Structure formats: structure tokens, C-alpha cells
Structure 1
Amino acid sequence: MKMIINGRKVDASDGKKIEVFNSATGELVDTVPSANEKDIQKVMKAAQEGKKVWAETPLYERSAILKKYVKLLEKHKSEIAKLECSEMGKRIVECEAEASTAAKIFTGFIERANHICGDVMPDCQSECGKDLIFTRREPLGVIVCIVPFNYPVELFSHKVAPALIMGNVIIVKPATDNPLTVIRLMELLIEAGVPGNVAQVVTGRGSVVGNQLVDNPYVDAVSLTGSTEVGCEIAKKSSKYLHNVFLELGGNDAMIVMEDANIDFAVEEAMLGRVWNAGQTCCATKRIVVNNKIKEEFTKKLVARLDKVKRGNPSDYTTDIGYLISERAAIKAEEQVKHTIEQGAKCIYGGTRDKTFFEPTVLIDITSDMDVANDMEIFGPVIPIIGFDTEEEAIEITNAPIYGLQCGIVTNNTKKAINMAAKIQVGNVVINGTGNYRHIDMAFGGTKMTGIGREGVQYTLEEMSKVKSYVLKNILN
């Protein structure tokens, strides 16, 4: 497939390409251009032209175009899902669900944008009593959207929908390992009527293309979902231009299982929180913090439940767990498990890798000084179990990492859970469920080193725009 610059499907100016492989089979799926500085210059020139065009397009016209895109997305849902499944090894049922969610995300942002009103200042000050002051929301300008590999369709939508509906120009940088689905989504946007200089997609290595897009005076904002390390680098590069930055970064989220919890329910939630998308989810439950009085029973039941997880072809609707995005990612997860064992943990289930497939893994005897209990995020189906005796200890364990995205609490005592939630340093707390949860309207985002900003239909439109005040002096009688 080709990248899309100024409405045209093009190769890199020097002809260099990147191969895209099926994560599950290792087969070559397609190639994409490996963009360079000359290509980025073309993108920026087109974006500056599109910036004026799209900002001057009335909201109702932008809405009509994006509604056409929603219809195209629904029409091509099966195609999009199959393409995503083929390039990243995600289960087909998850890919179809993601495509359906994407349509809801766009619809939600369109509807919300059409009901945002400005403010009128009260004439309560005598010196301004005859002046009329009102506000309008205007676009930021050119927004670079850096989409991660793990949810390419959904997170493309959470960035692109609010940016476009508020009148911004977008430049999308997909993940290097699986850019095909994002390119196809961009093709549908162009087909729906979004001008070619308003929506562009550039492919290539993040170290080259990503850096050149961010370290650029012609950009007004950057929206990234990725690692904390990359987020910090983007913040540094953006600072000299004072770009607006929206960063949804790493996490090492906990699910607390209290003594009074329904153990079977907690086991099911823990399994789903780690097996879904093979554990490659930002807000996935990456540590299970269990009361010591029920820890042994919980662990035995969890191992028994994982035995029932069906391995197989991700395009098979009966398969329960997919593959990691690349062998490089699987090797990293394997090394992190070995490192944890070397620090004193015990692996009682799984722990093995077959190329890009990583077996669901259970680690016990985790102590508070181990890296996995603190800042080491394992992006795979690995379940470290950490015991606690008191409520205060559970909160302390949960708050230990530098991250704070989401947390789950399983208990029959809702009052206690709400009070615990107030003390837990995360962006969102899910009571009676895994933290691996996201509603399109909720304020999704974290605290501490997990990022800056919030994504969600109720919130992102304001972040993707700026307020301007209009003053009409002496207009009132």
C-alpha cells in the first residue's frame, strides 16, 4: 500500500519501502513507503494549504462528510477487521468489535460537536456594560496523530474524529509493524470527501518520520498513544515550539481483589484483563493484588481457567488469544519474565514463547522490591500475583509505579471500594471489574508518568480546539 500525501497515493521519494508481515504466520502481507525528509516537506506544505480550507468549512459540512465516512466504515467493517487481523495477529472477533466501536466514536464526536455552544459574558461591570462579549471555539491547526499498533482502528478514531470535526488538519503516523489498516481508514476518509490536504498519512520509522513530524514549526499539536519514553521525547521536541501535546502513555495497572470478593468472578476478570489482545493494552490489568487469605484459592482457579483458553489461528472465531505484534515484542516479554524469576519470583504456569506467540503466564511470590511490582510494564499475557494483608497495603502496592492509568477493585463492599478509589493515584477506577475498560464518553487518561490530557467524546473536542473571545464595544443600548 502507499501513503497518502495531498490526496495522492505515493511512494517515498527515494523509493525505499518497509515490509509488513502477518504476526501470526510470518508471511509477507504488503509493503509501505519509508518516508524521508523530502516527503515530510511535501506533507507540511499541503497541510498549510489545507489548514485554511478546512477551518473555513462550516461545521455542518464537516459533519456531513464525516457522517459519510461512518457509513463507509460500517460498509467496510469486515474488510477492515480482516486486514487488521492479518497484519497484527489480533483475534478476528476483537478486530470486528474494534471496527464497530470506531463507527460509534466518530458518531459520538460528530453529535457532540454539533451541540457545543459558546459563552456570553454578563454585563455586570459598569465600564463594560454596553459591550457584548461572546466566545467561539476555533481549530488548533495542524495536528500530528501518532497511532499505536495495539488498537489501530479505535485509537485512530479517538484522535482523528475530534481533530477533524473541530476543523483541524491531521497528519497520521501509523505504527511501523501494522500500518495497513490505518492507510485503508484514511482512504475511506478521502472517499467520504475530506480534502486530500486536510487528511494525510505518512509511513516510516518513528525514529525518522515521527521525529521529523514532531520537531517541526508548522505543527500546532501532537497526539500520541505510546510508551512513556517516547512521550517524554515528544514533549521535549515539542517544547521549543510550544506545541499542544496530548500523551496517553505507559501503565502498570493493578486489580485489587479484596477478601470478600467473588473469587470465580475475580478470576474471570483477571483472565479477560490479560488475555484480551494478548495483553497488549495500555490499561490492561498488569498486576493482580490479592488478599492473602484468598490468594491460594484465587491462584489455583486462575491457572485452571487459563487451561481452558483456546490457542489457535486468530482468524478463527473460536480462538481465545491472539499473537504479539512481533517476535521482538514477544522476546521482550520473555526476557521480562526471566528477569522477574531471577529476582525471586516463581512461574507456575506458561512462561514459554513460540516466535510471536506468548503463552499466558502466572508469576507468584512477587515482592514489593521487584521491578514487575513497580515500573516494569509487561506488554503481554503475563499475570503477576501480589499478596496483601490490609487495605492500606493494597493501596500502597497499587500506587507504587510511576504510572497511574486505571485500576480495578473487586469487592462486595461498594462503600469501601469508593473510599479506596479516592486514595488510588490513577485516572480511572473500575469497581467490580478489571481496569481493562473504556467507554467512548469517559475521560480516558492517567496521572503521573502516564501522560497529559484526556480522550473521550465529552472531553477531547475542547482539547482539540481553542477559545476565542469576540468583543463588540458599545453595541448595547
Structure 2
Amino acid sequence: MTELLANHVAGRWQHGTGPGTELRDPVLGTALVRVDATGLNLPEAFAFAREQGGAALRAATYRERAAMLGAVAKVLQAHRDSYYDIATANSGTVKTDSAVDIDGGIFTLGQYAKWGDALGDVRVLRDGDAVRLGKEPVFQSQHLQVPRPGVALCINAFNFPAWGLWEKAAPALLSGMPVIVKPGTSTAWLTQRMVQDVVNAGVLPAGALSIIAGSSAGLMDALQPFDVVSFTGSAETAGVVRAHPAVAQRSVRANIEADSLNAALLMADAAPGSAAFDLLVREVVREMTVKSGQKCTAIRRILVPSTLYAAVAEAVSAQLASVVVGNPRNPEVRMGSLVSRAQFDGVQAGIAALAAHTDVLHDGRTCPLVDADPAVAACVGPVLLGARDADRASIVHDVEVFGPVATLLPYNDLPHALAVAQRGQGSLVTSLYGADEKALAQAAIALAASNGRVHVVTPAVATAHTGHGNVMPMSLHGGPGRAGGGAELGGLRALDFYHQRSAVQASPEVLAALGC
């Protein structure tokens, strides 16, 4: 029988008492490890994190907590090679895709360590300047940001077992809130190993970081009013989170990142052969194939001038045809697998649903896999669909296929393009490609209200831009509407979620003595 991974709660490693869920290699189909949380005392786990881990973190200054993050990053860097091995085995990713997850998480930790150090040796943050409450300046109001005296429950998706942990945990720990992470079950091995390495290194106070690697049943029942929950996953599960009594009745603060039908928009000035045209094609292919399209920020809809529909279809299809799919252990393979056969079946069903209302412009599923058995491996070649009428093809604005799939859509003019993009009902990101700075700026403003991030690519930033789907800790990650209405990262803005804003009304002398 495969190894049963331990959970770390209440300051100690504990195994579940059930048979557990077996994690498998999505390419080879072999069993790897098991995870289980049956029988854990969740109220004890949350109380220990809240009382022991939280108290220890809040006793430290921001600079001291930043140093803890830096130490965590060093621990992870020392074990980095083993994480790549786990990612290949459990997520089926090629090395460059694993780097997005693993190195991206370490980079994010380093950034918050740097930003936190600059906050200094204080335990409370001033929020703006003091303002007088009357005609005379003898009584004033000073807004503060103070750490919430609770626990941060981080419920993560399967596609980023490393980065998904640290992009939430870094600002939470810096804010003085202990973290309990519940990773996506199918790829929980990498998250569990990272937490194990950090806990064993002793660089965080006891109770500051916990992991529940098995079932999430009952997790939210243990939440109390000053706790927070940060969720990444499907809109269906997000609805369950929002409706839970902890959120609906006890006012537990919730951050949601859900489904997102992101778009890439080619401006009318980007003719075939232009730098902007080539940049869109390159980015579409990259976003369709990185992590086999299993990214919440991936491009799902490609909006192009109707006169360029055929040219874009040909250019994207030509590049997709060169993508080698199969076993990530083979150096010739550029795109690995989906995370499981269940995900494989879901993507195939989603493609069939979209294809009933669109044309198949390129079908990479017809290409043979390299070093992988198609009857076993969860590999799906990239599929480019197209709809000649972007308004009538409503399904492409409503259904997200979480895999290497995108749909090409024509538009008549820029107002039409913006209207089509906004049919996503709220997205994490839309990217724009062109050379007319004024037109791009106007389009970015028009799209800002329906997107968490607008990524503008001109020839001037061809080698400098960070990528449509690459989430950088300096910028906001989240989006309105369908995308969940949440907000993560964005530099020190991420700390807002883990702090309580309060106004202290007092004399200037008292306000000066607040120690911040």
C-alpha cells in the first residue's frame, strides 16, 4: 500500500484514520501516495493555530515576520529539486511549467519578505494621517490597520499546489495571522512536502502553519468571527463557501477566486506580419499550453478584427501544430498532462459542448503522444475553436473548459470588441495587443471595471512584459463578477484582507503614543 501522508495540525503530525484518497501519476497511472484527514480534531486544530500560532506571530514586528518569510524561502530553495520531482510525478508538468508554480511561490515569498522588512519594527500600521474632528486640533481621528486575532483558512485549487499556498500564506503570515492550508486533493503531495520541510526547519512559530491534506469536510464549521477564508476553485464550490453559516451568519471574511473566461484582444491596427500581431499569436499559444491550459488566468477567448479572423486562425494553428504532447520526462515534450483522468474526462466533455456551437480550427488530440499511453495518460493536445458570430455563440462566454482550449471570435469595431469581452461577466485578466497607445489606453480604461487586471502589450514591451497569465505579486490577482469578486496580492494591498481597520479618536498626544 502507498504511503499515507501526515497532516500537521495542533502543533503535531497526525494521520487520518480512514483509507484515504490515492494520488496517481496522471501520465503513467501509477499510485503515488495517499491523503486522509478522517478523525482529525478540527476545533482543536483551529484553536491551537489561533491561540498559539497567532499569538506568537502578533508578538513579532512586521520586520521580524518578514525575516520569517525570508527563512521559509531559503528552506524551500534548499529542497527545490525534490519539488520538481513531485510536480512531474503528481501534476504531469514539464519542467518549465513546474517552475511557474514552484519558483513562482518562492519568488512571491521573497517579495513579501522584502516589503515587510520595509514596514519596520512596528506591530500596528497607520492608515493615513490623523484628522481633526472639530474646529480645534485637540481631538483627532487616526485610522489603524491591526492584525485580525484569528486564523486564515486557505482552500486551494489543484493546479498550483506550490504557488497557490505561498501567494496566500505570505501576506497572511506577514500580517500576523496563522495559516491552515487545504490543498486541492489530487495534487496535495507537493503542498504537503513544502509544509513538512518548513515545519521541520523550525523557522515559524508552532501553530503558524498547518496543513490538512485530506477531505475538507467540516473545515469551515471550525471558523470563528475573526477568522478569514480564502478560496480558489469552481464557482459552484464558491457558492457553498459563501452560503456557509461561518460566512453568512458569523461574518467570517471571505475572499473568492472562481471561474474566469479571460480574453485576449487584437487591436485593429495590428495587421498580419506586424509585431503586435505576432505577439498575440505567441501569447495565445503560450497560454493554451502552459500547464496544459490549467490556469485560472489562461486565455479562453481570442477577439480579433473580423478581417483578420482567417489569418489569426492560420497563425495560431501553425504554432500549435508544433507542440509536442506527452510524458514530461521526455526532453522533446513541450506540454505534459492534465492532473488526472477525471480532469481529462471533464475537458473532453467541455470540448464536445463547445464544438457543438463552434468550428474546430485545430485539433491537437489527433496527434500521437510521446512516451505516453493514450488509454492511461491524462494528456490532451491543444484545441483551437472558432465562431464566426461572436454574439450568437453564447456558450463560449458562459462555459470555461479548464484545459488547453481557446475560441477565436471576430469583432466588427472596438466598441463591439469591448462588449464581447465584457460578456465574460467579470474576468481575472484581459490582454490587449496593438501599437496605438491612445487607443490601447482607452480600451484598458473601458475594460478595467470588468477585469482584475488589464495586460497591455505593445512592440515596445515585447521582451519585457510578464505575460497575460503570469500572476506577479506586485499586481492585483482577482476579478469582479464571475471571477469571484476577490482580491489577492497587489503588493502590500494583500495585507488589507488580514487586518482590521479601526479608527482611534483621541488627543494628538495619545495618537503619538500608539507606537506606529
Q: What TM-score do you get using the length of structure 1 for normalisation?
A: 0.92
Of residues 295, 314, 333, the one that matches 1:300 is: 314
Q: Cα distance 1:296–1:125, how it changes in 2: closer, same or farther (>3 A)?
A: same
Shift of 1:469: 4.2
> Deviations 1:352-371 (Å, cap 9, x if unpaired)?
67641111111123543335
**Separation of aligned partners in 1, 2:506 and 2:117:** 25
Q: How does 1:281-296 map to 2 (within 5 A)?
A: 281-296=295-310
After superposition, the Cα gap between the structure-2 partners of 1:340 and 1:366, relative to the gap in structure 1 and judged at 3 Å, is farther
Q: Give 1:428's aligned residue.
A: 453
Alignment map for 1:135-150 (pairs within 5 Å): 135-150=144-159
Counterpart Cα distance in 2 of 1:250 and 1:103: 25
Distance 1:435 1:77 in 2: 26
Among candidates 204, 218, 230, match of residue 223 of structure 1: 230
Residue 230 of structure 2 aligns to a residue whose secondary structure is: strand
Aligned length: 471
Question: C-alpha offsets along residues 316-349 of structure 1, whole Å, 9 cap, x if unaligned?
Answer: 4542112111111111111121122223534542
Say if 2:434 is the partner of 1:411: yes
**Residue of structure 1 aligned with 2:424, choices 401, 425, 431:** 401
- The Cα of 1:189 is off from its aligned counterpart by 2.5
Residue matched to 2:500: 466
Over aligned residue pairs, what C-alpha RMSD do you find? 2.4
Post-superposition CA distance 1:399-448 (Å, at most 9, x none): 11223211111112121111112222211111128632322210111111
Question: Which is further off, 148-157 or 350-359?
Answer: 350-359
Q: Structure 1 residues 420, 39: closer, same or farther in 2, change over 3 A?
A: same
- Work out the CA distance in 2 between the residues paired with 1:470 and 1:240: 27
Amino acid at match of 2:411: F
| Contact 2:76/2:198, CA 8 A, preserved across alignment | no
Cα displacement (A) at 1:473 = 4.5
Partner residue, 1:361 = 383
Decide which moves more: 228-237 or 122-131.
122-131
| Larger deviation, residues 227-236 vs 244-253 | 227-236
Residue 162 (structure 1) shift: 0.8
Offset of residue 26 of structure 1: 1.0
* AA partner of residue 247 (structure 1): I
Q: How does 1:430-445 map to 2 (within 5 A)?
A: 430-432=455-457, 435-445=468-478
Which piece of structure 1 moves more, 225-234 or 433-442? 433-442
The one-letter code sitting in structure 2 at the alignment partner of 1:236 is: A
Equivalence for 2:279: 265
Name the SS for the 1:430 alignment partner: strand
Aligned to 1:112: 115
2:342 to 324, 328, 345: 328
1:197 is matched with: 207
Structure 1 pair 67–109 and aligned structure 2 pair: CA distance change class (3 A)? same
Task: Tell me the residue number matched to 1:213.
Answer: 219
**Which whole-Å CA distance do the structure 1 matches of 2:476 and 2:7 have between them?**
32
Equivalent in the alignment of 1:6: 10
Change (3 A) 1:101 1:344: closer
- Report the equivalent of 1:315: 329
* Residue number in structure 2 paired with 1:80: 83
In 2: Cα distance, 1:138 partner to 1:384 partner:
44
2:387 maps to a residue whose letter is: D
2:424 is paired with a residue whose SS is coil
Instruction: Return closer, same or farther for 1:258/1:65 CA change in 2, 3 Å cut-off.
Output: closer
Retained in 2: the 8 A contact 1:69–1:192? no
| 3-state secondary structure, aligned to 1:363 | strand
Distance 1:183 1:80 in 2: 11
Deviation at 1:267, TM superposition (A): 1.5
Counterpart Cα distance in 2 of 1:391 and 1:201: 48
Contact 1:337 1:351 in 2 (8 A): no
Is residue 309–residue 321 contact of structure 1 (8 Å, CA) maintained in 2? Answer: yes
Summarize the Cα distance change of 1:413–1:134 in structure 2 as closer, same or farther, 3 Å threshold.
closer
Shift of 1:372: 3.8
Contact kept, 8 Å, 1:140 with 1:466, in 2: the verdict is: no
Over residues 45-79 of structure 1, what are the superposed CA-to-partner deviations in whole Å (9 max), with x where a residue is unaligned?
A: 32233233332234343233322111111111111
Q: In the aligned structure 1, how far is the partner of 2:406 from the partner of 2:133?
A: 59
Moved more, 50-59 or 148-157: 50-59
Distance in 2 (CA, whole Å) between partners of 1:156 and 1:124 is 43
How do 1:48-67 and structure 2 match up within 5 A? 48-50=50-52, 51-67=54-70
Which residue of the other structure, out of 374, 381, 384, is the alignment partner of 2:404? 381
Counterpart residue identity of residue 11, structure 2: G
Question: What's the secondary structure of 1:156's corresponding residue?
Answer: helix
Structure 1: gaps spanning 5 or more residues: none
1:102-138, CA deviations, whole angstroms, 9 ceiling, x for partnerless residues?
2221121122223344155145634660668573522
CA distance in 2, matches of 1:334, 1:370: 19
Kindly provide the amino acid, as one letter, of the partner of residue 151 in structure 2: V
Counterpart residue identity of residue 239, structure 2: C
Q: For 2:94 and 2:388, how far apart are their aligned partners in 1?
A: 30
Distance 2:334 2:170 in 1: 31
Q: Percent identity?
A: 20
Stretch of structure 1 that moved more, 234-243 or 369-378: 369-378
What is the distance in 2 between the residues matched to 1:326 and 1:164? 32
1:98-177 aligned within 5 A: 98-116=101-119, 117-118=125-126, 119-123=128-132, 125-126=134-135, 129=138, 133=142, 135-177=144-186
TM-score by length of 2: 0.85
Residues 406 and 134 of structure 1, relative CA distance in 2, 3 Å threshold: closer
Contact 1:130-1:475 at 8 Å conserved across structures: no
Per the TM alignment, residue 392 of structure 1 is displaced from its structure 2 partner at its CA by 1.5
Distance in 1 (alpha carbons) for counterparts of 2:508 and 2:284: 64
Structure 1 residues 296 and 40, CA gap change in structure 2 (3 angstroms): same
Q: Please, which moves more after superposition, 110-119 or 297-306?
A: 110-119
Q: Which amino acid aligns with 1:160?
A: A
Any unmatched runs of 5+ in structure 2?
A: 120-124, 367-373, 459-466
